Every structure is written in C-alpha cells, then in structure tokens.
Structure 1
C-alpha cells in the first residue's frame, strides 16, 4: 500500500513537471505565433492629460481612426504638469461619443475597429492628483486597477502603456502590485510592461525608473518637428473638414499631436519591431544604451524643485541623435495614412476611399521584421512579388539601405531598387555587421498609401 502511494506521488510530480515544461514551451510558441501573424495587434493603454493642451484631443482623433490596428485596452484620463488635477472623463467621452457616429463608416473599410460600447467601457479616470503626491495607500484609481487587470490577462503580448501626460497612474499600479504580491509576481508583472513616456510630465516617471530599473521605459523627447505646418492646409483640407471626428479635431495652440508618436511607435505597418527600439519607425528611434537623468518638461521642477533629482541616478531609454527626424523620415506614410482614414470616417462606400497595399517580402506575408545570415560577397536577392493593392491600384517600389540602425556604416548599392525584384552584394568589409534593408511601397491612389517591410542581414 505504501509503495502504491509512493508510486502515485512520483507520478503526480512527473505530470506537474511535464505540464510546466509544456506550458513554458507553449507560451513561447504562442509569442512567436503572435509575431508571425499578419494580423498581429499590439496591446496599448493611453493615459492622457486631456484639457491641458488641444494636442491630446488631436492625438485621440488620430488614434480612433486607426483603432483597428491595435488592441486598445484602456483610455485613461490622468494628470500632468500642465493639468495637475482632473475631475471627469467628459472630454474623452465627447470624442468617444463622436466615434460612435463614424463607426459604421470605419468598419466598412477595415476589420477590427472596436465597438463604441467597448471603448466607453475602458474610458476611465486615473489619478486625479499630480505626480507622486497621488501615489500610495488608498490612492488606487479605476485607471490603475485597469492597468493591473490588463497586464494580468492570460495573453503573452506585452502591454504598452503610453504617457501622454504624467506617469503616476502606471506608478500607482506598480506600487499596488509591489505592496500586494510576492517579488516573483512583481517581476512577472513588470516584465510585461512597456512604457512610452512623452516628454516627462511629472516626477513619477523618475520614481519608476529609479525603483524598478528592470522596467522597459522609453522617455521620448523628440516629439516635435515631424508634423505638417501648424494649423496649415494639411489639417484644414484632410482632417478638420472630414465629418464628426474632423469637427472635434481642434486647432493647434503650441504644436500638433505631440503625443501621437507614442502609438505610432507600435503601429504594425511592417517597418519595425517596437521592442527593438533602435530600429526606427513612425514613433522615432531610441538607443538601447540607457541615459541618466532624462529630465521632464521645464514645468516639473517649477512645481517641485527636487521632484526628479531626488531619484538620481535613474536611467531610461531616450531618443537617438536624430530626434524627430527619425519620425519625419516617414512623413508621406503617416500623413497620408491619417488623411485616408479620415476619408473612411465619412463614407460607408468602400470604393470611395483608398486602402493600404500589402507588402510581401521574399514570400513572407506577415508584417514582422525578417532576419537572415549571409557571408561577405554573397548576392542578396530582394523579392516583393505578390505584393497587392486591395483597390487594384498600381504599386511603386523602393528598396533602400537604412544606415542609422545598421552597424555597417558604409554605402550599399542596391540594383533595380525601384523594381519588385532587386539585389545587392554584401561588401567585403561587412564581417560581423548587420545591414537593414527597407522595402517601401505605395499605391497610386488618393492619397498614396504606404506599406513597409524590413530585412536585417547579419553578416558572418
């Protein structure tokens, strides 16, 4: 009898070990499957200091007309140095209510737009007070609870939390998890977070970076200069005169859409892997060498002189030397994307608007970045055959060497670089380097719409 019990005990232990191993393998495979899926969507949560500056309203309009590209899991009204208190979600509710009016049109042009009811269900208040003064016991908010619930979901994808204002709602979520869970559970929670902080607008970002250095934390400062002319023709003719959402896109006071790079960084257009922040894309390019003391906006030390310096040293990922030029490089793509989506918002007739082409790279139909290994002197063949346009528009091809993220810094000559079939030879001095090649294609519709693919060649 005793031997039977021992056998049963050993059998149970083996089952648990095998199950855990299978689960770990399955989770990894699930992550790979997500990344390879052509319909991959990043999970995002926005915290916005709506009311501080019209640019948050502007960015919200752009995000809603591109909402089919993301799994938006939270729209959180919070505070920042220019809006130190918040009381209501009324401004957010107005924009989401306006989305209700155009939702039937938008979903006629692309699958995956969230329902207005869903967006209303995730439109909540975050911290109502400023910075670290609103962090701690008894300070949990609907927004901080929503962030925790989102990260806790059984979903292998990371959660990108975007700070359009201050970062104290995510700070409160982290504080809560630290206080209520084991160190291992906290580590798991933090590993799923991706933070994109626009300019730094309170002292809580420094607190996060100091106390939780393992957190994936970008502080973007190169968020101006990529936009079209302030209150210019582009906005008047392509955005503001386009139906209900155009009507709630306000004129610019300081600079347009300063917060938009946060979600453009994760836009799944085939150009970049958001986790590989040095690749560069619509949201900018960042260095994997963390920088010390990337300070918040000038208003933050005016509110509390040592608000951030008391956390020195703290380290974050910051922009490369290109600053906003790393965004502006793609201006035709993101400007035309927004204009076309505003066209979608005013008609339910698919044929009355343009739609994005689909770029195929060497037979791969996903939107993931591809990597390969090659040797010096090898001819690399580049093939975009099979790329299609849903409106049967003609396609124009452009292949180019993207030098800034490449470790190889000399010139690359691509043969037939405006054809669907191109090639280049690996230079003799490229041993141990990587070479980033971009396929940029666009249709001849109105406006031209762009699609991208990236191939990284690691030279052995």
Structure 2
C-alpha cells in the first residue's frame, strides 16, 4: 500500500557512487619504528576481505629515518609486511570458512615495497623516485574509476615524490585527474611533506588527524600520559590501564588465535610508561578502519563520520603538526588546507559518562570495533558454528552495503522498516535508530517513533526545507562471544517544499 499526495517526492533510495564497491587502499607505514605498526597491519589483515589492498609501502617518518640514533630505525623495513602476509596465508583457509572476499597473499606480496629512504621533502625531487612512489602512480593510473584511499601512517614524502614525478611528465588536465582520484588520510603529520603537498596541490582531498587517529586505544591524555585518558572502558574485565589493554589483547588476539595472533606483538617499547607498554595499536588503525563499514562511512564526505572518524565539511587552513620541529617547516608552506577533526556529543550508555570532544567521533564506535576484532580473530582458528558473524542490516528490503539517499518534503512522516535484517548465526537482533545530529545541517530536534524497534517513523520538521538529515540504523546481534554490529546510513535531503500530509509509506 502506498500513500502519496500531489507534489510529493515518492520515497526512493539512490545508492551513492562507489557505495557498493570495495575501497582501494594503499598503506604507507614506518614499519619497525615501534610495535604498533605490526599490530595495525596484522589487525588490518583480519579485515582485508572488506577492501582492496593495492599497496603496502614501508616509508620513513619523524622517528624512522637515516638520522636516527638507533641503527634499526635508520632504514625501511618492508620485510615486516611479508612476515604478516606469511601469517595471513596460514590462517586464510580458516578465514574463508567465515566470509568471502579475502585477497590472495601472493598478490599482496607483489605490492610490498619501500618508499623514499630519506626524511621529508628534502628527499623529494629529480632522480629520487622509489619503488613506492612508482607503485602509487601505477595504482592511481589503473583503468579503475574508484578513488584510492591512501593511508599515511608515517611521513608522506613518498606520495610527494609520486606527485612530483607525475606532474613532470603530464599535462595540467592529466595531473588534476590524477589528484581527483586521491583520498588521503594523514596520521599525525609525521614529516614536513604533507604541508608541502597541500600547498603545492591545493585541490587534493587531504584529511589530517592529530587526535582521532590515536583514539582506537588511546589517546592517553596530555603529552606523555598514556594511562589516565584511554577513553571508554571496553576492554573489561581488565584494568583501566595500558596493562589492562595488553591483557585483553593477550586473551583475545595473541593467544590461541592462529598465525596472525602469534605475530601480533605487545606494544612494548622503551620510553613508554606502565611497564614499557603503550596503548594498543597507536595511531594507525583508525585511518583504514572506516573502510570496513561501507553502509556507514563514505570516503567522499569526511564530515559524515564512521569508524574512521569525523572531520570538517570543508578544508581548513594551517592545521599544524603537533610536532614542534615539523610545525616550523610547515610555516614555510602557509597557507595549506586540510580537512581537520571536529567534535561530537556522545553519551556512553555503559556508565552514563558524557563526552564532548574531538575523540568522541571515534569513541562512540569503540564497543563495536573491539567486538569486531575479537570475532575476526576467532575466525582465524574456529569453525563457523563456534564463532560469531555480522548481522545484515536491511532498510525497506534493501540489504546491501550501500548508503541510502532519499528526498523528502518538510512535514512528511516517513516509515522505515528494518524487519528483513538477518543474522547468519540465528542470533536475536537488537535495533537502534538515531539521528547523527552533528552531521546533518538541520539544527532542531527530530522525532523518531519507537527507535528501538525494527520499524520506525520520523517526522521531517516543517522548518527543515533545504537541509539534510542523517538517520543511522544500528543492528546488533545478541551473542555470548561478543555482539557484532551492522549499520545503514540514510541521508535525507529535505526539499524546499512543504505539503501537509499524513504519511508516506513504501512496502
């Protein structure tokens, strides 16, 4: 039964471009700088069925560079990628029992290489091409329309070299087409090349994270304090400390969890407090984590939020590196523009604590992310019946991974039905509908009827014409191992037309 009135735009979902595709990703990481890089990449391999990994490039950064006082940290270490891939290959037969889409380890080994050997922009220029810079060009220029998500988990001078080389050999139009395919997430601004790139290639899509990037396990609070501000406590029953996090990892990741569990190290390094431990996974997990949930996170809209954090809708000037020496260099490139972190308001329902800060866009998903890690590590060793698997969130019969976008009229009542959502293990499903207020452009309150039922209605406010509303469906399974989540984002574009009506419903 459909109800509609004159001038009403009938409810219809339009999938956003690329929403159903896997995202292409290149990782630049200072492998060997400290153990968190190995933690991050090992974790990523348990999620690798959700993305197309097209480059694993060992690079330099602030701490791993030829000038380091420690010999091991003077050179790149691509062999650490290979060790992780060897472990992944051993666990792959069991991983395939739980999900499809896993990459071939032999193909992944082919995209492992080193980038620039020197530090920063000083190692960029004529005759300084590296295997890593060439790989970036090869990936971006493939006959593939999808953008390339480039994670910079160290210095960005290898990407700078790729841009330098491509510009030298191509027209302005070709260069812009190359830049248009890049989606860069820079973790911590760990050399002076990022600001140089953004200054010299001002149209580049560049996210800079100085805070949220550390929020998977931290951030640790004030500089040097890694024990007192670790964010919401979702590694219980272990203590609220980095030692407690490490004990959680020993149980759920490192012990009896296959070859990947064996290569996953403690983040134990001199200079850290609490017995030499640092908070888990450092700053390099969040930059790729958003790619896991395509029904929630959109790489073209950094302000929409998701497991990869939330950033400004427009690029902002001169978001400096937190490293004083790098900031001095960046001041020579001013103005440069990047997407920068923004804050969320979030209430942690486990203890009622309220967060209003720029870590909350990550912390609000922490329970789901940690449970995801628990269950994916189980996939390395357990049979299907002894593991938990993700529910499938469906909206009005659409059970794809896509973000849904619809048009609506001010004053409408719109019905949404998630009753066709499912769970591969037959688990009970728990539903939650909520409006992501910080993302939408309508500042008033929006009524949701029965937000914890599979079916709900929202009333589009009469004053919302020309605005955008983001409705999130969160589906959680009830499983004793650890509850897993799936999401669907519904983007509602409200037309500048008001028609009084009872409701709009689509079966």
Return the offset for 1:262: 0.7
Q: How does 1:321-332 map to 2 (within 5 A)?
A: 321-322=343-344, 323-332=358-367
Structure 1 gaps, min length 5:
1-30
Aligned to 1:371: 405
Does residue 124 of structure 1 match 2:113? Answer: yes
Deviation at 1:34, TM superposition (A): 6.4
Residue in structure 2 matching 1:267, options 280, 285, 292: 292
Q: 1:65 to 1:212 in 2, by over 3 A?
A: same
1:421 aligns with 2:443: no
CA deviations over 1:126-172 (Å, ceiling 9, x no partner): 11111112111111111111110001111110011110001111111
Name which of 242, 254, 258 aligns with 1:243: 258
State how 1:384-399 maps to structure 2 within 5 Å: 384-399=418-433
Q: Distance in 2 between matches of 1:32 and 1:458?
A: 13
The 2-side partners of 1:385 and 1:35 are apart by 26
* Shift, 1:409, TM fit: 2.2
- Distance in 1 (alpha carbons) for counterparts of 2:322 and 2:163: 23
Q: Are positions 1:276 and 2:296 aligned together?
A: no
Aligned mate of 1:57, from 34, 38, 51: 38
Q: CA deviation at 1:299?
A: 5.7
**Matching residue of 1:11:** none
Out of 285, 289, 312, the residue aligned to residue 314 of structure 2 is: 289
Aligned 8 A contact 2:309 2:362 in 1: yes
Moved more, 242-251 or 96-105: 242-251
Give distance in 2, aligned partners of 1:274 and 1:412: 26
Which deviations, in whole Å up to 9, do the C-alpha atoms of 1:76-98 show, x marking residues without a partner?
A: 00011011142442222222221
Distance 2:466 2:177 in 1: 34
Structure 2 residue aligned with 1:230: 242
Residues 109/387 of structure 1: CA separation in 2 closer, same or farther (3 Å cut): same
Aligned residue runs from structure 1 range 100-249, under 5 A = 100-221=89-210, 222-227=212-217, 230-231=242-243, 232=245, 233-241=247-255, 242-249=257-264
Does the aligned pair in 2 maintain the 1:47–1:78 contact within 8 Å?
A: yes
In 2, Cα distance between equivalents of 1:155 and 1:33 = 17
CA contact (8 A) 1:161 1:193 kept: yes
The 1-side partners of 2:300 and 2:19 are apart by 15
> Shift of the alpha carbon at 1:33?
8.8
CA–CA separation in structure 1 for the residues paired with 2:486 and 2:171: 44
Structure 2: distance between partners of 1:174 and 1:371: 34
Distance 1:454 1:118 in 2: 33
**2: distance between equivalents of 1:259 and 1:300?**
21
Match for residue 315 of structure 1 among 326, 334, 337:
337
Task: Report the counterpart of residue 227 of structure 2 in structure 1.
Answer: none
Question: What's the CA shift string for 1:359-384, capped at 9, x where partnerless?
Answer: 11122222222122222221111111
Q: Would the aligned equivalents of 1:292 and 1:314 in 2 still touch at CA under 8 Å? A: yes
TM-score w.r.t. structure 1 length?
A: 0.88
Q: CA deviation at 1:410?
A: 2.3
Aligned CA RMSD, in angstroms, stands at: 1.8
Match of 1:78 among 28, 49, 59: 59
Identify the structure with the greater helix proportion: 1
Q: Counterpart of 1:453?
A: 488
Q: Conserved in 2, the CA contact under 8 Å of 1:292 and 1:316?
A: yes
CA-CA distance at 1:353 after TM superposition: 1.0
Question: Per-residue displacement from partner, 1:289-320 (whole Å, max 9, x unpaired)?
Answer: 2222222241643xxx7421111111111111
Q: Which moved more, 1:247-256 or 1:410-419?
A: 247-256
Q: CA deviation at 1:57?
A: 1.1
Answer whether contact 2:391 2:424 (CA < 8 A) is retained.
Answer: yes
1:249 positional shift: 1.8
Question: Is the Cα–Cα contact under 8 Å of residues 64 and 76 in structure 2 kept in the other structure?
Answer: no
Give the SS at the match of 2:18: helix
Query: Could you report, residue by residue, the CA deviation over 1:102-123 in whole angstroms, capped at 9, with x for unpaired residues?
Result: 1111122111111221111111
1:35 paired residue number: 18
Q: Which runs of 4+ in 1 moved over 4 A?
A: 31-34
Residues 384 and 421 in structure 1, CA contact (< 8 A), matched pair in contact too: yes
CA distance in 1, matches of 2:491, 2:188: 30
